């Protein structure tokens, strides 16, 4: 019997080491090197056949024939937008997220609504459990086939019989291959099974969707090389205590990574939110001080978000500064500008700032809305709810222009706002807007306009 061979892999970057070391020499992380059993065998392709490999030849750039990307629409508008227009044939997409966030629900909904034949492979749930979830989603698709299997060799045998148009794997950490004697979820197993699936996707032009678990640091479990191997990396975010989920693209070889998809988790599955402003602006009966509406952009999608501020006299010696969804250092900068340039004495007061909806915003175009919310709370005067803001605040107290102002104005007009406050230095076309434009150049002008 052959002697069992072992090797050492870094759990963070996947680097192989000859012996155990405390610190990985590649990624410099400590205590990430683990021992795994390794069985050296002749590597077989996904079909396990001895077909001759095609030898690729170098071509000049002008000799390469450019074929347009063939895409498969998932009938899920939010997912299609994030992917850049649908699933590209032969692409491998990795979907990561926290446990219970809705990864399996999202891909099962896609499998049940897409018009192509789908093979849904689950290594975590039985067929009866998936059937119960499908009944809850209230969606049926005779082209969706469910397989509960974790061995890649058996999966590929079923693939040859079924010949699906789309393959879904839930999840990559549960798969294992016979070519390696290591437990499922280990570095070597994830790397080998992913390589087999990627090879299958490229040779057959079949899109593959993978679900990936994340570790306690929030990164997808397994070697970092997994994210480099796949074509698209999606992150499903959100708080399990809230009903809203955000789908972001961290890597996309076929489209932009600036797109954003928003879903609402309901008892019957995930609902696409086509108008995100409905979840980011709270409904209230009376006008309250300390709130202002800002126009921001997430990728190419304009959003109207609500900024809440609370300014109160400091009870303790040192005033408190706290933010949720906004950069604390930028808040301190804006408070310093208000103190120095506009004469508002806020140094001895507590200031709390919140971006509603549970999202983080780093767009400088919400600066003026932050200023308006702070001054509204400080003066205890409510801002007209039909007014929104889109401008950056500079260190000299000037109101600076922001990018794509036309798109922000059109979104505010579409949502029914009557007035938008922006920088007078913005280049706005002469087209007639139904919304009233208030163009200001300094903080004092904005204050006089709002609280005159």
Does 435 belong to an annotated binding site? no
Identify the domain boundary among 274, 300, 325. Answer: 274
Same domain, 239 and 160: yes
- Report in angstroms the alpha-carbon separations of 134 from 7, 108, 110, 111, 209: 42, 8, 11, 10, 18
Inside any domain, residue 61: no
CATH for 403: 3.30.230.10
Domain count, the chain: 3
Chain centroid, CA 383 distance in Å: 33
What is the reported pLDDT for 393?
A: 94
| In a domain? residue 145 | yes
Same domain, residue pair 298 and 351:
yes
Residue indicated by tokens 């071509």:
59
Q: Is residue 62 part of a domain?
A: no
Its pTM stands at 0.72
Which of residues 274, 291, 325 is at a domain's end?
274
Cα–Cα dist 357/386, whole Å: 19
Same structural domain, 220 and 268: yes
80 lies in the same domain as 224: yes
Residue 234 host element (H or E): strand 232-237
Rounded to the nearest 5°, which phi and psi values hold at 419? -140, 140
Residue 95 near residue 252, CB atoms below 8 Å: no
Question: Is residue 57, in this structure, part of any structural domain at all?
Answer: no
| Pairing mode, strands 87-88 and 71-72 | antiparallel
Is 103 marked within a binding site? yes
Beta bridge partners of 34: 9
pLDDT at 292: 93
Q: Is 96 annotated as a binding residue?
A: no
User: Which pLDDT belongs to residue 242?
Assistant: 67
Q: Quote the pLDDT of residue 1.
A: 42
Q: Is 188 among the domain residues?
A: yes
Domain co-membership, 268 together with 285: no
Contact 389, 426 (CB under 8 A): no
Mark whether 186 and 164 lie in a shared domain.
yes
Write out the residue range of the structural domain in which residue 430 sits: 279-451
Residue 347 annotated as binding site: no
365: Cβ–Cβ under 8 A, 6 or more apart, which residues?
294, 295, 296, 297, 390, 391, 392, 402, 403, 408
Q: Is 102 among the annotated ligand-binding positions?
A: yes
Measured distance CA(13)–CA(98) in Å, rounded:
20
Q: Can you say whether residue 407 is alpha, beta or left, with left for phi > 0 and alpha for psi between -120 and 50 degrees?
A: alpha
Q: What's the confidence (pLDDT) of residue 45? A: 53
**98 in a labelled binding site:** yes
Q: Identify whether the C-beta of residue 348 lies closer than 8 Å to the C-beta of residue 319.
A: yes
Q: Are residues 219 and 93 in the same domain?
A: yes
Residue 40 among known ligand-binding residues: no
Q: Are 98 and 127 in contact (CB under 8 A)?
A: no
| 59 inside domain | no
Is residue 377 domain-resident?
Answer: yes
Widest Cα–Cα separation across the chain: 90
For residues 112 and 128, the answer to whether their CB atoms sit within 8 Å is no
Same domain, 331 and 266: no
Residue 6 neighbours by CB distance under 10 Å: 12
For residue 18 the two structure tokens come to 């000859």
Please tell me the predicted confidence (pLDDT) of residue 41: 47
The answer to whether residues 198 and 173 touch, using CB atoms and an 8 Å cutoff, is no
Two structure tokens written together for 168 = 């879904």
Rg (alpha carbons) of the chain, rounded to whole number: 27
Q: How far apart are CA 392 and CA 362, in angstroms?
A: 12
Q: Are residues 400 and 428 in the same domain?
A: yes
Tens digit of each residue's pLDDT, the chain (452 residues): 455 577 888 877 778 888 888 898 888 888 888 877 665 444 445 565 434 456 678 888 888 887 777 889 998 999 998 998 899 999 999 999 888 888 999 999 999 999 889 999 999 889 999 999 888 888 777 789 999 999 999 999 999 999 999 999 998 989 988 888 777 888 888 888 999 999 999 999 999 999 988 877 767 777 778 888 899 999 988 766 667 788 888 899 988 887 888 888 888 888 888 777 766 776 666 678 999 999 998 777 788 899 999 999 887 778 899 999 899 999 999 999 999 888 888 888 999 999 987 778 889 999 999 999 999 999 999 998 889 999 999 999 999 999 989 889 988 888 888 999 999 998 887 667 888 999 999 998 988 888 87
CA atoms of 335 and 280, how far apart (whole Å): 24
Q: Are residues 189 and 218 in the same domain?
A: yes
Query: What is the residue-wise DSSP string for 69-115?
Result: PPEE--S-HHHHHHHTSSEETT-EEEEEE-TTSSHHHHHHHHHHH-S
Give 134's contacts (C-beta < 8 A, 6+ positions apart).
108, 112, 140
Report the pLDDT value the prediction gives residue 267, as an integer from 0 to 100.
84
pLDDT at 314: 82
């Amino acid at each position: 019997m052959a002697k069992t061979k072992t090797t050492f892999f870094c759990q963070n970057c996947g680097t192989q080491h000859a012996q155990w070391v405390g610190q990985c020499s590649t990624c410099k992380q400590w205590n990430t090197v683990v021992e795994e059993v390794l069985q050296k065998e002749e590597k077989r392709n996904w079909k396990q056949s001895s077909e001759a490999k095609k030898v690729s030849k170098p071509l000049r750039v002008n000799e390469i024939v450019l074929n347009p990307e063939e895409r498969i629409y998932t009938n899920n508008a939010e997912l299609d937008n994030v992917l850049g227009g649908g699933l590209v044939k032969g692409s491998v997409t990795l979907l990561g997220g926290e446990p219970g966030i809705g990864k399996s629900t999202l891909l099962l909904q896609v499998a049940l609504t897409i018009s192509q034949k789908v093979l849904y492979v689950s290594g975590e749930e039985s067929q009866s459990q998936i059937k119960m979830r499908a009944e809850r989603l209230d969606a049926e698709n005779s082209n969706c086939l469910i397989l509960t299997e974790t061995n890649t060799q058996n999966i590929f045998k079923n693939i040859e019989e079924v010949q699906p148009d789309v393959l879904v794997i839930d999840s990559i950490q549960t798969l294992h291959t016979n070519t390696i004697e290591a437990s499922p979820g280990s570095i070597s197993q994830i790397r080998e099974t992913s390589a087999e699936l990627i090879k299958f996707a490229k040779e057959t032009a079949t899109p593959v969707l993978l679900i990936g678990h994340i570790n306690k640091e929030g990164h997808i479990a397994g070697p970092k090389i997994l994210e480099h191997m796949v074509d698209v990396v999606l992150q499903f975010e959100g708080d399990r205590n809230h009903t809203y989920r955000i789908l972001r693209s961290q890597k996309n070889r076929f489209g932009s990574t600036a797109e954003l998809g928003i879903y609402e988790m309901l008892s019957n599955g995930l609902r696409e939110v086509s108008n995100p402003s409905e979840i980011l602006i709270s409904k209230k009966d009376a006008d309250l001080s300390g709130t202002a509406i800002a126009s921001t952009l997430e990728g190419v999608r304009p959003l109207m978000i609500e900024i809440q501020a609370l300014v109160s006299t400091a009870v303790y010696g040192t005033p408190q500064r706290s933010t949720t969804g906004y950069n604390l250092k930028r808040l301190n900068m804006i408070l310093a500008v208000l103190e120095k340039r506009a004469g508002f004495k806020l140094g001895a007061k507590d200031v709390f700032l919140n971006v509603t909806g549970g999202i983080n915003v780093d767009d400088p175009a919400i600066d003026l809305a932050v200023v308006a919310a702070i001054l509204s709370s400080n003066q205890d005067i409510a801002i007209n709810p039909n007014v929104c803001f889109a401008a950056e605040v500079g260190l000299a107290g000037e109101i600076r222009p922001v990018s794509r102002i036309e798109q922000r104005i059109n979104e505010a007009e579409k949502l029914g706002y009557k007035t938008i406050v922006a920088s007078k230095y913005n280049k706005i076309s002469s087209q007639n807007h139904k919304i009233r434009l208030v163009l200001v150049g300094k903080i004092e002008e904005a204050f006089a306009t709002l609280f005159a």
